[in-house]
Amino acid sequence: MIDRTHKLSIVRQAKLLKISRGTVYYLPKPESPENLVIMNAIDRLHLDHPFMGSRQLRNQLVKQGFEVGRQHVRTLMQKMNVRTIAPQPGTSQRNPKHKVFPYRLRKLRIVRSNQTWALDTTYIRMARGFVYLTAVADVFSRRILAHRTAITLEACHAVEALQEAFARFGKPEIVNTDQGSQFTAQDFVDCVLNNGAKLSMDGRGAWRDNVFVERVWRTLKYERVYLRAYETVKQARQDIAQYIDWYNQDRDPSSLGNKTPEQVWQEGTPTFRLAA
């Protein structure tokens, strides 16, 4: 939201946007090199075994030679926005003061593009640090409609991505998210409801709800992120954007009938039902 190259001063931009100057100038404290190595190991383990909670991840890390406790693993999972895909409470950080909306996708037939969108945020490793990637995806076609790569896990990045998707692709009936604080924040809720869409939130511990977006993250990371060592946020942002363009336009998985997400988006096939 803040453009550091704009002729308006950062202070003036912050005032116009009604956000704290402290938020604008805040630079997150970097993680220690030791923590970054553990976080990267957690990320790979989570993609291969998304059902593992902090206890099982701790056990796997110890087998790999890490000296780490369960509480340390839980803390790093929270920083990474890693959620266990299993019938148990997840680790996505919900703000208890924020309203939680009901889950609206159970037994819903997804039969066309722009019927239901899903948003999620994932951890992206770099050579010396990490960033967060938030994406808006169409559930029917698996097309990524908009995304933001940022150094913080804040609602403004999700709002920007959603606003871009609205501007480019119209309005869906339902926007589905998890209960992370960036999605329960009032600014995000207002963005969804003021654009005429219904907001749906995954139930805590409902392992099936987030499987679709988790598969997108797995594809992105194994086909791109793990093959790179991003030195800067700008480099990560540009390379991820290039991959997403290729993913939408050229990747043709068998699960989509060997069609690309863009083709399925345009044609409106196939039809499937979410698990009950």
SS3 of 108-167: the string is CEECCCCCEEEEEEEEEEECCEEEEEEEEEECCCCCEEEEEEECCCCHHHHHHHHHHHHH
Q: Is the peptide bond before 33 cis (omega within 30 degrees of 0)?
A: no
Tell me, yes or no, whether 97 lies in a domain.
no
Tokens of 241: 């954007």
| Residues 53 and 175 occupy one common structural domain | no
Q: Are 140 and 54 in contact (CB under 8 A)?
A: no
DSSP 258: T
Residue 10 C-alpha from the chain's centroid = 27
The answer for 152, left when phi > 0, alpha when psi is -120 to 50, beta otherwise, is beta
Contact criterion met (CB below 8 Å) for 167 and 248: no
Does some domain include residue 92?
no
**Per-residue model confidence (pLDDT) at position 276:** 38
- Give the H or E element holding residue 200: strand 198-201
Instruction: Residue 72: name the closest of 99, 117, 50, 42 by CA.
Output: 42
Phi/psi of residue 195, nearest 5 degrees: -100, 10
pLDDT greater than 50 at residue 87: no
Please check whether residues 239 and 137 belong to one and the same domain: yes
pLDDT at residue 255 greater than cutoff 90: no
What's the pLDDT at 213? 81
Q: What is the mean pLDDT of residues 244-259?
A: 90
Confidence class for position 88, pLDDT limits 50, 70, 90: very low
Q: pLDDT value at position 32?
A: 87
Kindly indicate the confidence band of residue 107, based on its pLDDT and cuts at 50, 70 and 90: confident
Question: Is residue 71 domain-shared with residue 120, that is, in the same domain?
Answer: no
The answer on pLDDT for 57 being more than 80 is yes
pTM: 0.75
CA distance 80 to 130: 9
Residues 151 and 205 in one domain: yes
Q: What is the number of residues in the chain?
A: 276
**pLDDT tens string 29-45:** 678 889 999 999 999 99
Cα separation, 113 vs 271, in Å, equals 10
Looking at the structure, do residues 75 and 185 belong to the same domain, yes or no? no
- Name the burial class of residue 124, with classes exposed (0-12), middle (13-18) and buried (19+) by CB atoms within 10 angstroms of its CB: buried
Which domain, by its residues, includes 75? 33-80
CA angle 77, 47, 208 (to 5 degrees): 90
Predicted local confidence at residue 91, as pLDDT: 37
Q: How confident is the model at residue 21 (pLDDT cuts 50, 70, 90)?
A: low
Confidence bin at 105 (pLDDT 50/70/90): confident
64/60 Cα distance (integer angstroms): 6
Q: Do 163 and 254 lie in a common domain?
A: yes
Residue 131 and residue 219 share a domain: yes
Q: How many domains does the chain have?
A: 2
Which DSSP state fits 174? E
Q: What is the average per-residue pLDDT within 158-183?
A: 93
| Mean of pLDDT over the chain | 83
pLDDT at 86 over 70: no
pLDDT of 7? 65
User: pLDDT band at 275, cuts 50/70/90?
Assistant: very low
Is residue 129 pLDDT above 50, yes or no?
yes
Least confident of 36-40, 96-100, 143-147, 231-235: 96-100
